[in-house]
Structure 1
């Protein structure tokens, strides 16, 4: 379930069954079709394929049909069960996003919501937001400083009754106060915070999150109040569709489309749904899908570069993986190069194993910190298991200790793509060579995150983190869990050293110094085998040729007001 529609810049877990769905506005080729000959590198960091068109060439009206990958029950994207891509993306369409991002990942103030936002003091750090007085919520109230204050209260981590996915950034705020009037906000940080632009994006209305009860349960099954150019017009659980339409009370430029319909589909059903014209775009990254989609009449293959990584998360809070030696043995027994080769054999450019949890290879700061944990060393894996007391019972047999077999549960979504299923089976075979039995448990797509990943009912899972352009967006992924909060650290693995490094990096406004701290933390994350990075996932999308300002946007946001059908 990728963070796809509206591209809020937040790190989010994405099931491997999900397609790489992104879009935005900007320059770039919209019809570069991959061919059998591999080029030397994936698209540049700024690459896009969105069929950019001036608004004069986009007709008024029409419907855009998209897929989501499960029915959404929790719509509060800041709540731990709402930290899922489909919910986050649709909420970003209907709630205020104070900044928007271009193809290079550079941010600018969204004038529909903000007249200005700037650092007005450095000691202490104070950020002053001046809201557009025209900006209103769907209940008729103006956006105000109280919305900021209420959101900070909920996300600060000071009250564990708010079950939040991520407190990073908010916990460093010391106060949120009224400025010259209700439409000016002064945010004071107790410690410097470099990535302040990622906070309050989206901004939520104070009345809908003012208490733990409202925060945790007030968004179940619905978005209670909206505040953007679009609003949700219907939820049809029977048809598994959510519909959005332009809000007639919107104060900015009128959207071109009349409606957007999201339909819950398993990833395995999307290619047929596209070919049957039930949806208007889908992933073409799987070789078997690409062959069918590329020859479909009226279809563009649009490609771009995105912050998008595939990894395996290990659960360090239960069973054999509580032992660091066993986690390290799992790491060494997994052949990352073999997994990458199986995934990329028919792609138009080479894919290599990823060596960093914070940076993509096409980002400033990237460094391969995997060291020995990035290599395939079956003998080393066996040696670690021997020393951990797991008896070798011979080829093809699970190791044993204290009468128990060394068996791990790999949880897989029923909607998984072929590559995700192949990956699970490869891991099963690779770990089996070390005497580690792997049972693949396939679970309903709608339950995958809510009932398994979020609750820790797994030993191994694989999903994606996407669009973490700001490294602090990954803070919660590696944050030390507490007795009542796991944040985004589903494997529950951290150390005081990792926590200290990522906290220090978040407070460091010198970019080079922050990069160094993140890379120090990354080396320790590899040592602890929090998760095993596999590869950066490229964007290859099949899109209706008549769709403009839409497709593979790389690091950019979508512009819902500009996307539409060409006249």
Structure 2
């Protein structure tokens, strides 16, 4: 599955357990680390040491689009999907591939004549909840829906799928043979989960999961117990049709609460787990009886997106001036204020600073330079008026900024952006929106400037270069790019060596960043308040614990 979009206020990664010390995130600050944290902290516990029974409750609700393969799906969709659909391939915290034998009893990867062949032998017991056997047709259906050959499918990412030339039946229906043109080193990310063939028609792929669940097309240790479209609450219960290890929990409950209410709900014992988004929320939950703080590395990154299709941001000169006016170090200080946490400013959308192959591509193409921004705007004919805001042809230089919810940290960030842009003669028009509008704002491009995050669902960042930067991709929220760069990016996906692929991807990203339409801002650690005894939950980096392994220690 692809990287998954997330609202800045929803599951942020901007807090770490506080202790005396500085709160700068300046990569040039004395003592600042050369890479962000890569520590995992989730109370890893063997299956046989988890008690049978209990309930696990967190904040959450279902997405407008619940099919994680769909371009309009966000991180919410991926997380909810994983509780009642196949988790066939996962990754360790550091990114090593893990095959789930309850789905794939054997995996064979071979290269012959320069082309890769992957043979997936599917567990003979594996069956969808409606009784349909899970076999090679599910793998074929997933490929066909995502390979880009039929533009009617609103697929999130065709990369990798478009390298597959065929998916056929092996020695029997329980074996899928996947043939690639060339070699795909990140092939495992294509089939971490899969679609029921009925879910893979164009109509169902695009519309069936809109605010709905389809447990009959799912499989796994849990299935849907309650799905309340009015309240937004929902519950998963044990699946009587599951053939593998039984889920340890009686119930997995999601309660639909605004992010600002989540801390109080955790303090009152209504939740078992909550994201600590800033120093204040962390202060409120630290030391609560029966709870602990878990904090570690983060596969999240938050960036500023520019809608190049909006009238004022169609001008690259204006976009570059905005980026040169933004002091990312100051934004990071706001995000991490009062926390003993430092990280280098992020330099890439595709790889994190703790990953092999990472390069600081942002610094290669952009410097914080408000004086240069002023000069460029002068030269472009934007003249300062009496109120300090620039005017050209009778039109003020005003840019919209969409602010979700009432989170104080988000308000402070928006205020900082406004002050920075005002200093060069640009007025930031802050427009408030409800958290519930997040996915619609993205899918309908209802913004000029917008801060959103991405969570990497696997370690193969270079694979998602096109999702961020190809001009013809709906997943490219900015709309920036060019056909020439698209061609270069697509060729990179076919490089078989991950190291060489990363080098080429970094070079292409530097070109893409010169569109000045996308600015990585910060990552931060993942920090959570958790009830003691909750197993396999917390800061997991690339790891997504299998649902049946989540529960309470004996």
> What band does the TM-score fall into relative to the shorter chain?
over 0.9
The gaps in structure 2 that reach 5 residues or longer are 23-30
- C-alpha offsets along residues 458-516 of structure 1, whole Å, 9 cap, x if unaligned? 1100011112521145234324344xxx4311111112343234322211111221111
- Correspondent of 2:522 among 521, 535, 542: 535
Kept after mapping to 2: 8 A contact 1:337/1:353: yes
Kept after mapping to 1: 8 A contact 2:290/2:532: yes
Matches within 5 A, 1:355-366: 355-366=347-358
Q: Which residue of 1 aligns with 2:455?
A: 466
Q: Which residue of 2 aligns with 1:110?
A: 100
Please, what TM-score do these two structures have when normalized by structure 2? 0.93
Q: CA deviation at 1:45?
A: 5.7
Q: Which residue of 1 aligns with 2:343?
A: 351
Matched, 1:381 2:373: yes
Q: CA deviation at 1:373?
A: 4.6
- Distance change >3 Å, CA 289–CA 259, structure 1 → 2: same
CA distance in 1, matches of 2:445, 2:78: 21
- Distance change >3 Å, CA 195–CA 56, structure 1 → 2: closer
Helix, strand or coil at the partner of 1:88: helix
Matches within 5 A, 1:20-59: 20=12, 33-37=17-21, 41=33, 46-59=38-51
Matches within 5 A, 1:76-225: 76-81=67-72, 83-122=73-112, 123-210=114-201, 212-224=202-214, 225=217
CA distance in 2, matches of 1:242, 1:198: 28
CA distance in 1, matches of 2:466, 2:18: 36
- Correspondent of 1:414 among 385, 405, 410: 405
CA distance in 2, matches of 1:137, 1:186: 20
Matches within 5 A, 1:258-277: 258-277=250-269
Please, what TM-score do these two structures have when normalized by structure 1? 0.91
Matched, 1:455 2:444: yes
User: How many residues of Structure 1 are paired with residues of Structure 2 in the alignment?
Assistant: 541
Q: CA deviation at 1:190?
A: 2.7
The gaps in structure 1 that reach 5 residues or longer are 1-8, 23-31
Kept after mapping to 1: 8 A contact 2:227/2:235: yes
CA distance in 1, matches of 2:20, 2:2: 34
Matches within 5 A, 1:64-79: 64-68=56-60, 70-79=61-70
Q: CA deviation at 1:19?
A: 2.2
- C-alpha offsets along residues 269-313 of structure 1, whole Å, 9 cap, x if unaligned? 111111122211112230110111102111100011121111101
Helix, strand or coil at the partner of 1:370: helix
CA RMSD of aligned residues (A): 2.1
Kept after mapping to 1: 8 A contact 2:13/2:298: no
Q: CA deviation at 1:351?
A: 2.9
- Distance change >3 Å, CA 45–CA 103, structure 1 → 2: farther
Q: Which residue of 2 aligns with 1:435?
A: 425
Helix, strand or coil at the partner of 1:197: helix
Q: Which residue of 2 aligns with 1:336?
A: 328
Matches within 5 A, 1:485-564: 486-564=473-551
Q: Which residue of 2 aligns with 1:393?
A: 385
Q: Which residue of 2 aligns with 1:29?
A: none
- C-alpha offsets along residues 390-420 of structure 1, whole Å, 9 cap, x if unaligned? 22225x43212222111111111125x3222
Q: CA deviation at 1:249?
A: 1.3
Kept after mapping to 2: 8 A contact 1:501/1:517: no
Matches within 5 A, 1:268-287: 268-287=260-279
Q: Which residue of 1 aligns with 2:53?
A: 61
Q: CA deviation at 1:152?
A: 1.6
Matched, 1:309 2:301: yes
Moved more, 268-277 or 12-21: 12-21
